[in-house]
């Protein structure tokens, strides 16, 4: 099993979602999300990728990630019924790990439909199947956007108010979560809304 590749970036094929890493003269074809491909160095420069290896009877596919957090999300998404490797990469191309964590914590399936090929039914399945797994896999605070809102009425009302002001639910969820952390558990709905708006404006 290949867990990591360190070498030189040979080329990137954006149309087919893959890149080639030259490791001591051997070129490894590695599939990657648009987010990872967009953050790559120029051809000929050093590169190091975390690798997830998928072996089947008729192929061996390598999937590459610039950081372990995205790789962990890929593994987690792959556990969802109906989500294969290509679909997992599409989701990670559309949403960062932090955005994905907020969407799942907020039960915001609509945000996940931004990924190409992901409809409402599959997005709902991602939310329902992963909502209890996200916190326990050591994905890190950054993966959660730094805050998860406690399920209290004031926070829920503040999130609803921000959504009514045309903010996306995952954005509102993250902003209120950070406001709740700053203001404490006794903050009023009005205080959470004001602090949430300030977060969203920053």
HEC profile of 84-135: CHHHHHHHHHHCCHHHHHHHHHCCCHHHHCCCCCCCHHHHHHHHHHHCCCHH
Report the C-alpha gap between 41 and 127 in whole angstroms: 33
Query: Mean pLDDT of successive 10-residue segments in the chain (202 residues)?
Result: 93 86 96 92 95 89 93 92 94 90 85 94 93 56 44 78 84 82 86 90 82
**pLDDT given at position 138:** 40
Number of other CB atoms surrounding residue 37 within 10 Å:
20
**pLDDT given at position 151:** 53
Q: Which tens digits make up the pLDDT trace of 32-89?
A: 999 999 899 999 999 999 999 998 888 899 999 998 889 999 999 999 999 999 999 9
**pLDDT given at position 142:** 38
**Residue 143: DSSP 8-state:** G
**pLDDT given at position 105:** 80
**pLDDT given at position 146:** 46
**pLDDT given at position 157:** 84
Predicted model pTM? 0.71
Contact call for residues 96 and 34 (beta carbons, < 8 A): no
Beta strands in the chain (DSSP E): 4-13, 18-23, 26-31, 46-55, 60-65
**pLDDT given at position 99:** 86
């Amino acid at each position: 099993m290949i867990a990591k590749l360190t070498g030189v970036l040979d080329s990137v094929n954006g149309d087919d979602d893959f890149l080639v890493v030259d490791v001591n003269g051997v070129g490894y074809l590695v599939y990657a999300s648009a987010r990872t491909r967009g953050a790559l160095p120029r051809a000929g420069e050093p590169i190091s990728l975390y690798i997830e290896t998928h072996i089947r009877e008729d192929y061996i596919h390598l999937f590459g990630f610039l950081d372990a957090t995205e790789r962990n999300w890929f593994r987690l998404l792959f556990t969802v019924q109906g989500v294969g490797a290509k679909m997992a990469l599409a989701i990670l191309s559309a949403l960062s790990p932090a955005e994905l964590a907020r969407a799942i914590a907020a039960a915001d399936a609509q945000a996940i439909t931004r990924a190409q090929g992901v409809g409402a039914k599959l997005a709902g399945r991602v939310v329902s199947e992963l909502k209890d797994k996200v916190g326990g896999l050591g994905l890190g605070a950054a993966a959660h956007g730094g805050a998860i809102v406690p399920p209290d009425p004031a926070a829920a009302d503040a999130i609803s108010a921000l959504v009514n002001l045309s903010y996306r639910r995952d954005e509102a969820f993250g902003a209120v979560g950070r406001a709740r952390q700053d203001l404490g558990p006794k903050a009023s709905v009005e205080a959470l809304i004001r602090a949430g708006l300030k977060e969203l404006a920053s």
